[in-house]
Amino acid sequence: MRLRLTPRDPSYFDLFAAQASYLVVGANLLAEILGADRATRKDINRRMAEAEHAADDATHTIMRRLNQTFVTPFDRDDIYNLASSLDDCMDFMDEAADLIVLYKVDELPARVSDQVQVLQRAAELTAEAMPRLRSMDSLQEYWVEVNRLENQADKTHRKLLAQMFDEITDPILLLKLKEIVEKLEDAADAFEKVANSIETIALKES
Amino acid sequence: MRLRLTPRDPSYFDLFAAQASYLVVGANLLAEILGADRATRKDINRRMAEAEHAADDATHTIMRRLNQTFVTPFDRDDIYNLASSLDDCMDFMDEAADLIVLYKVDELPARVSDQVQVLQRAAELTAEAMPRLRSMDSLQEYWVEVNRLENQADKTHRKLLAQMFDEITDPILLLKLKEIVEKLEDAADAFEKVANSIETIALKES
Amino acid sequence: MRLRLTPRDPSYFDLFAAQASYLVVGANLLAEILGADRATRKDINRRMAEAEHAADDATHTIMRRLNQTFVTPFDRDDIYNLASSLDDCMDFMDEAADLIVLYKVDELPARVSDQVQVLQRAAELTAEAMPRLRSMDSLQEYWVEVNRLENQADKTHRKLLAQMFDEITDPILLLKLKEIVEKLEDAADAFEKVANSIETIALKES
């Protein structure tokens, strides 16, 4: 069964809101996967793939419409950038979940949960902000907060890296974990890019 | 001796066709390099570097013309994106060949051949599609097929990664092979981006 | 104390010049960090972070102005690309310094100095070129020379990689050094992108 969060004849606003809703689903599945056993992880990963496909459909609908219509609520480039960076958030979270299953990593360092919690919060804020794009209402607090979260994610990431290189002596395990935590950091960066796109749109409208 | 596939006063269409022709050359050289011994590999890698230079020249000619002329057959951004992503295909294939020589990897896992076969097919399809840009004729089957190929490449890549992490115990060899197969996956992604650029152009014209 | 190289009401030209000045500071700090002991490295890294913040402020000022004004000295996209690629130069140099401290790497291979010297030269040339953007005066020698430097950086990078894989047997040390030298190579690429942006601007004006 496919998730469906978008109405039949959706507007750009509906489609952005749908993209962002899938991010909340994705971030929560990431949190779930951390504590799960191997068998359950595979199942969670399948649900993640479903969310990623659904988000991808919303992205394609935006891009197709952008190429076929003249009138857009914001600059075409800004719509393109916003849709792309929302899509990137999902892709990086999906890739992280995928690698956890693919690399059969049994236990993840505790700080990975901190990384994922930041992603969950960023996803919620993003999903809450999207409906406000119509009215441009109180968007500044959203982008300021996501920038703050990204800074926090960055610090956690650096501490985690230092700790991993200090404590893990198996180079192959280190290689696996490094790639996973980097995907999570990439996801945090992508959420910041979403916030920057929103800031650009809001500044132009003001 | 330099390869030369472009006429004296080429159009954008000629230049795109030239870029794509070098991709066929590059993908075939990649296939050759897999089965070759070390001495032959160096020689093949030199021919790859020649193809990369020639493709680079075509890219620069497109970019220079784009900056100096007002009339373009498609949107400037779309020409830029198409030329850039054709260039990326070549760069990633060249880098993969380069790393095979640089890292002195004697034997590559069997699935690497599957990756390269997909690149050969994507390159052929791309080269066949470029001349059809003029008339916008039957381009859809091209981009649908390249998207399918990229999905296939992605699955092969994931299986290959899982297998490598299961079977290879030498971490330095693993590090080398991982980087090579990732370049090949990057090349497959770049072919998909070319197909997406073509889709964007075709949708706007329709 | 924050570095401040920009006047109170700066023009785009002033802001690009400021961004480029921080790159000179950053490249010199990178050169300093190589020969320093661990305690001094931390201190140099803090000064690098200050330079990075200051460069970031200049970038944000450019982006904000771009979103709020209609009249720009060059195409908006070109201003955006130039500011972004100047920012990337700084980010990659900062990340390299950061990893040297984070990974507690005691000794770096001799060729890393060659990489950093190229970055110092590229940064100086870039800082010297920025004030000439107003008059478009003798910019071609700048971009030709930076392209030459990037080619040189690329060759050094490849030799360094081959040497590291030949000589280093500790996979974890290899993993650390590889990431550091790749950030330096990314910085050299970013300087080339700056030069390409300048070339694009100059060609359009000519």
The structure tokens listed for C202 are 């100059």
- Digitized pLDDT (tens) for each residue of chain B, 206 residues in all: 455 566 656 789 999 999 999 999 999 999 999 999 999 999 999 999 999 999 999 999 999 898 888 888 899 899 999 999 999 999 999 999 999 999 999 899 999 999 999 999 999 999 999 999 998 888 999 999 999 999 999 999 999 999 999 999 999 999 999 999 999 999 999 999 999 999 999 988 87
One-letter amino acid at A146 equals: V
State the best of A79, A172, A174 to mutate against chain B, taking most chain B CBs within 10 Å.
A172
Q: Quick one: pLDDT at residue A3?
A: 58
**Residue B8 CA neighbour count, 13 Å, CB half:** 0
- Answer for the pair B128, B142: CB distance below 8 angstroms, yes or no: yes
Mean pLDDT for A17-42 is 96
pLDDT of residue A33: 97
Chains A, C: CB contacts within 8 A come to 25
Residues 6 or more apart whose CB falls under 8 angstroms from that of C71 comprise none
B62 burial via Cβ count (<10 Å: 0-12, 13-18, 19+): buried
Mean pLDDT score across all residues of chain C: 93
Q: Is the pLDDT of residue C1 over 60?
A: no
Residue A95: inside a domain: yes
> With an 8 Å Cβ cutoff, are C103 and A171 in contact?
no
Nearest CA in chain B to A170: B171
Instruction: Report if residue B24 sits inside a domain.
Output: yes
Supply φ then ψ for residue A101, to 5 degrees: -75, -50
The answer on pLDDT for A7 being more than 80 is no
How many whole angstroms separate alpha carbon C108 and alpha carbon C173? 10
Q: In this predicted complex, what is the ipTM?
A: 0.87
Residues from A contacting B (CB-CB < 8 Å) are 63-64, 67-68, 98, 102-103, 171-172, 175-176
Confidence of residue C206 (pLDDT cuts 50, 70, 90): confident
CB-CB neighbors (< 8 A) of B68 in chain C: 203-204, 206
How far C76 CA sits from the closest chain B CA (Å)?
Answer: 13
Task: Give B89's contacts (C-beta < 8 A, 6+ positions apart).
Answer: B23, B26, B123, B126, B187, B190, B191, B194
Whole-Å CA distances, B1 to B4, B46, B53 = 9, 11, 12
- Tokens 């460069």: give the residue: C55
Q: Is the dihedral of CA A154, A160, A164, A167 positive or negative?
A: positive
Grade residue A8 by pLDDT with cuts at 50, 70 and 90.
low
Q: What is the rounded distance in angstroms from the CA atom of residue C206 to the CA atom of residue C204?
A: 6
Neighbours of chain A (3+ CB pairs under 8 A): B, C
**Beta-strand (E) ranges in chain B?**
none
Q: Is residue C3 situated within a structural domain?
A: no
Of the candidates C63, C102, C175, which has its C-beta nearest A171's C-beta? Answer: C175
| Contact present, B49 and B158 (Cβ < 8 Å) | no
Output the CA torsion C4→C7→C10→C12 (10° steps): -60
- Distance between CA B93 and CA B55 in Å, rounded? 12
A106 against A27, higher pLDDT: A27
Residue B104 host element (H or E): none
How far is the CA of C41 from the CAs of B141, C32, C109, in angstroms?
Answer: 57, 8, 17
Can you list the positions of beta strands (E) in chain A? none
Question: Which residues of chain B approach chain C closer than 8 Å at the C-beta?
Answer: 63-64, 67-68, 98, 102-103, 171-172, 175-176
Is the pLDDT at A176 greater than 50? The verdict is yes
Tell me, yes or no, whether B4 lies in a domain: no
- Structure-token pair, residue A90: 């999902």
Asked if C165 and B67 come within 8 Å (Cβ–Cβ), the reply is no
Reply yes or no on whether the pLDDT at A62 is more than 70: yes
Nearest neighbour of B175 by CB, restricted to C162, C169, C175:
C175
Give the residue numbers in C contacting A (CB under 8 Å), as ranges. 63-64, 67-68, 98, 102-103, 171-172, 175-176
Report the gap between the CA of C146 and the closest CA in chain B (Å).
16
Amino acid at A75: D
Helix axes A76-102, A38-68, angle to 10 degrees: 160
What letter would DSSP give residue C74? Answer: S
Q: At how many degrees (to 10) do helices C38-68 and A171-205 cross?
A: 30
- CB-based burial label for B45 (10 Å; 0-12, 13-18, 19+): buried
Q: Is residue A157 part of a domain?
A: yes
- Residue A12 burial (CB count, 10 A): 20
Q: Least CA distance to C105: which residue of chain A?
A: A165
The minimum CA-CA distance between C175 and chain A, rounded to whole Å, is 8
d(CA A158, CA C8): 35
Task: Select from A169, A178, A203 the Cβ nearest to the Cβ of C68.
Answer: A203
* C-alpha distance from residue A92 to each of A162, B183, C16, C64, C107 (Å): 22, 18, 32, 28, 34
Report yes or no: C98 and C45 within 8 Å, Cβ to Cβ: yes
Contact A67 B165 (CB under 8 A): no
Q: Quick one: which of A116, A121, A70 has its CA closest to A97? A: A116
Residue C70 is predicted with a pLDDT of 80
Q: B68 vs C204: CB contact, 8 Å cut-off?
A: yes
**Closest Cβ–Cβ partner in C64, C102, C172 for A161:** C102
> What is the structure's pLDDT at B137?
85
Range of the domain at B49: 12-205
Residue A22's pLDDT band (boundaries 50, 70, 90)? very high
CB A198 within 8 A of CB A82: yes
Tell me the torsion sign for CA atoms B191, B194, B198, B199.
Answer: positive
Q: CA C61, C62, C64, C70 torsion: positive or negative? A: positive
Would the CB atoms of C161 and B64 count as touching at under 8 Å? no
Measured CA to CA in angstroms, residue C28 lies from A128, C45, C51, C79 at distances of 44, 12, 11, 26
Residues in chain A: 206
Q: Give domain status of residue C6, yes or no.
A: no
B58 in Cβ contact with B15 (< 8 Å): yes
* pLDDT score for C100: 96
Per-residue model confidence as pLDDT tens digits over A108-151:
999 999 999 999 999 999 999 999 999 888 899 999 999 999 99
- Mark residue A21 as left, alpha or beta (left: phi above 0; alpha: psi -120 to 50; beta: remaining): alpha
Q: Which tokens is B62 given? A: 């497109």
Residue A167, min C-alpha distance to chain C (Å): 12
Report the domain count for chain A: 1
CATH number of the structural domain spanning residue B58: 1.20.58.220
Question: Residue C171: inside a domain, yes or no?
Answer: yes
Residue A1: its pLDDT value, please?
A: 45
